[in-house]
Every structure is written in C-alpha cells, then in structure tokens.
Amino acid sequence: TYTYPKSQELFQRAAKVIPCGIYGHLSPAPLIPADAYPFYASRAEGSKFWDVDGNEFIDYMCAYGPMVLGYNYKPVDDAAARQYAQANCVTSPGPVMVELAEKLTDVVSMADWAFFAKNGNDVTTYATMIARKATGRKKIVLIKGGYHGVAPWTQTYGHHGVMEEDGQHTIRIRWNDFEAFKKVVDENPGDVAGFMATPYHHPTFVDNEMPLPGYWDKVQALCNAKGIVLIVDDIRCGFRLDIRGSHEYFGFKPDLVCFCKAIGNGYPISALVGTEALKNDAAKVFYTGSYWFSGAPMAAALKTINEMEAMDAVKMMTDFGENLKKGLIEVAANHGYDLKVTGHPAMPYLRITDDPTLMLHQDWCAECTKRGAFFSSHHNWFVSTAHTQEDQERTLEIADDAFEAIKKNKE
C-alpha cells in the first residue's frame, strides 16, 4: 500500500508559512486517518492524478467537482490557450464573454441573462443581494447543513471570525420540510427576500437526500405567491444532473441559479443566471472583481459546455456512477457489509451502515485510497466523463482488497 513521505514533508514546510498548511475543503483535517491520504499532487491526466510521492490515484473527487471532462482535456485546454494568447485579463472584456452568456442562456432553460465571477461564493452572495434589491426585504431562508460558501452570511455564529449579526437575517430550516418554510414566511410577513437551497440535499457526513415528491413544486408556488426570490445553488450539481440546470431534473423553475465547478473543467469561473424579471435589479447591484472578466476561463467554459452537450456528458456520468454503485454494493455484500449509496449517481454519497460511528467506513475509504482509488469518507464523490470501464474494474478490485484489509485491521 501507498506511503506519503514527500507529501508529509511538504506539509510540514507548508505549516510554517501557510495558515493551516492547507486550508478549507482540501485540508487534510477531514481526511481520516490523515496518514492514508496524499496531500500534494504533482500531475493529473484524464480520470487520474499522481501525488508527489509518485502514487497513482483514480480520482473520485474530481477536484471536488470542477473536473468534469477529465484532467488536461485537450479541446478545453486548447480553447483556453488560444484565448490566453489573444487576450485574457485586459482593460476591456472580450467578445467571448458575450458568446458565453448567449450559450448559457441558450442551454439553461430558465436563464434570460448570465453574469460571471470566479468562485461559487461570489455568485451565491450576489444572488442574495439581488433578492434583497428586488424585494426590498431582508430575510434569506436557507437549509440546515447546506453549504453556500465562506462569506460570513453563509456561516454559523460561533465559527471563528463570524459575528452574531452576520446571521441576523438568515433563517435555517430543515431540508424537505415545506411546512417549516411556510411557518417562516407567516412569521416574517413581507420580510422574506429569498429562499436558497441546493437542488437536493448533499451535506457532509450524512446520507444525501433527494427532494420529496412535490417539495419543489410547493416551494416554488409559495415563493411565486409571496414574491420571494427562489434561488438554486447548483454549484455542486450543475451540469451533472441535467445540462439545462438541475431544476429541470426535478421539474421546477427557479428565479436565479448559481453555477461554478463543472462549468469550466477546472478553469476559474462561476456564473449566476436569472430570469428577465430580475435583470434590472441585477444591473442595479454593484458587484465585480479583478479577474471576473478574464477571457481564458470564459473560453474554457464555452468549450466545456459545448463538449458536455455534444457527448451527452450527463448520461455518461450517470451510467458510470450507476454501474460503479452497483459494483461497490455487490463487493461490500460479498464481504457481509451493507454499503448505502445516496444522492445522484454522478455525485454519490457512500456509507457502510454496519457501523453508525462511521469508523468502519472511514477505515475502508482509507484502505481504498492507499491502494489507488481516492475516496473521501465524508463528502459526496464526483465522477467525470473521463472515468473508464477499466477504472471501474480496477476500483472494484481495490474495494475488494480494502474490505479484506479492514477485517484484518479489526482483528
């Protein structure tokens, strides 16, 4: 099994000059046990990456979502390179910005306009500002356990650096609890500006949950009736469930949709799209950033969307994810374990139910990673169109060996 001396040495150096060494979602903190995981990658290609110790991994995290067509996917890299060579970060934006907006409004069913930024958090924050501008109201309703970024308004009071006031106008309710939403609307008459949620509930450390039948219909109807802006955070699901936006997968129509991750196959870009009714309000909110007009990531996004459409990327990822799920459940069952897979097959969340403490599951994911299948034990995985039949077969072999290993670990 793999060892990671160079990763660990780099991390020691990093800890001296970078807060946390590696911060945020790439931090080793949630990779349990930490010594089972690589910390630094040196190269990536297709569905795989290699760490600084030369270990090879079939990557089931896809850079936590952005990698959708495979690492170093040539058509996208070429499109970006051409744009870099012509004009990237310049005093005026390039025509590629208009082309990308036209493409997104064409592809995403509810979109009449598109706005570009860099990170998911940029556009979730912008969406709340537009909702407040459009309604003249303060409250934003969110789901408990839902993640929308790192801006103080998205965080919970008690987290370092977050003031009680930052959360003063956000109200968190349980996922799939329409009555709770109705209650919040009744208790805050004329003061709910927006409702923001992911298309389905994909928190960390717990099973992911699809919307109950009728949930989104009821939420949309109440929003429409009360003039509340319905915002979908499609940053993680976007382009993996449905190329037209995940709301199409579930059959409803939001007012604003936030995209990031899969939109540019790893190039830094995010987008907010919206309906005609909110276009003037969006225009009134002052919102911008140093790199938000950079052309190369836009050229990459344009190519990524065209490629995803042409190859029916959603179907490829769904089929791969479906087969992988079946295969892994079977391997687990052969060893006497119950592996539960929730969420959409293109971004499955896995859990071995035999041990509710998650220790066994963490142990299995660690043993898989040490053998070359990078598995997070607490976060939903991602698949890409670059994952192959061969990857799947190798993954199932690794999973099988890892089950043997966890039995030995227990002895």
Binding region for ligand PMP (CB under 6 A): 119-121, 124, 147-149, 198, 233, 235-236, 260
Give yes or no for a contact between 362 and 33, defined as CB atoms under 8 angstroms apart: yes
Cβ closer to ligand PMP: 23 or 157? Answer: 23
Give yes or no for a contact between 176 and 209, defined as CB atoms under 8 angstroms apart: yes
Give yes or no for a contact between 178 and 184, defined as CB atoms under 8 angstroms apart: no
Cβ closer to ligand PMP: 139 or 148? Answer: 148
Q: What are the structure tokens assigned to 108, written together?
A: 């995403």
Nearest distance from residue 29's CB to ligand PMP, in Å? 15
Say how far apart CA 208 and CA 202 lie, in whole Å: 5
Cβ closer to ligand PMP: 124 or 362? Answer: 124
DSSP per residue, 345-371: TTS-EEEETT-TTSHHHHHHHHHHHTT
Nearest distance from residue 15's CB to ligand PMP, in Å? 22
Cβ closer to ligand PMP: 232 or 339? Answer: 232
Phi-psi region of 228 (alpha: psi -120 to 50; beta: other; left: phi over 0): beta
Within 76-169, strands assigned E span 113-117, 139-143
Nearest distance from residue 79's CB to ligand PMP, in Å? 22
Nearest distance from residue 366's CB to ligand PMP, in Å? 22
Nearest distance from residue 273's CB to ligand PMP, in Å? 15
> β-strands 48-51, 56-59: how paired?
antiparallel
Element (H, E) at 172: strand 170-173
Cβ closer to ligand PMP: 119 or 265? Answer: 119
Cβ closer to ligand PMP: 132 or 240? Answer: 240
Nearest distance from residue 208's CB to ligand PMP, in Å? 12
Residue nearest to ligand PMP (CB): 120
